[in-house]
Amino acid sequence: MKVKVNVCLIISFLLVTGLLNSCGKSQNNHADYSGYIAKIKKHRAETDEWMKSSNESPFNYKGKVKFHPLNYFDIDPGFVFKSKLVEYKNKEHLSIFGTKGEERASIRFGYLTFGKDDKNYKIDVYKNEGKNNKTYFSIWFTDKTTGKESYEVGRYLEFEYNPDTNFVYTIDFNLAFNPYCAYSHEYSCAIPSDKDYLDLAITAGEKKFHE
Per-residue confidence (pLDDT) for residue 24, from 0 to 100? 29
Given a contact cutoff of 8 angstroms between Cβ atoms, the answer to whether 201 and 108 are in contact is: no
Local confidence band at 2 (pLDDT 50, 70, 90 cut-offs): very low
Residues 80-86 have a mean pLDDT of 98
d(CA 209, CA 149): 10
Q: Per-domain residue ranges for the chain?
A: 1-53, 62-196
Whether 160 has a pLDDT exceeding 70, the answer reads yes
Average pLDDT over residues 64-78: 96
pLDDT on residue 91: 96
Q: Report the share of the chain in percent with pLDDT over 70.
A: 85
Give, in degrees to the nearest 5, the angle at Cα 49 between 184 and 134.
Answer: 65
User: Of residues 6 and 155, which shows the higher confidence score?
Assistant: 155
- Mean pLDDT over 190-203 rounds to 97
The pLDDT tens digits for 22-39 are 332 333 344 478 999 999
Interval 77-95 mean pLDDT = 97
Query: Mean of the pLDDT values across residues 107-134?
Result: 94
Question: Which distant-in-sequence residues (6+ apart) come within 8 Å of 98 by Cβ?
Answer: 104, 188, 189, 190, 191
Strand stretches in the chain, DSSP E: 80-84, 86-97, 103-116, 119-129, 135-141, 155-157, 168-172
What pLDDT, in 10s, does the model give residues 112-121?
999 999 999 9
Flag whether pLDDT at 68 surpasses 50.
Answer: yes
Candidates 183, 158, 162; CA nearest to 173 is: 158
Query: Beta-carbon neighbour count of residue 113 at 10 Å?
Result: 15
Q: So what's the pLDDT on residue 32? A: 73
The pLDDT tens digits of the residues spanning 174-184 come to: 999 999 999 99
- Give the per-residue pLDDT at 42: 98
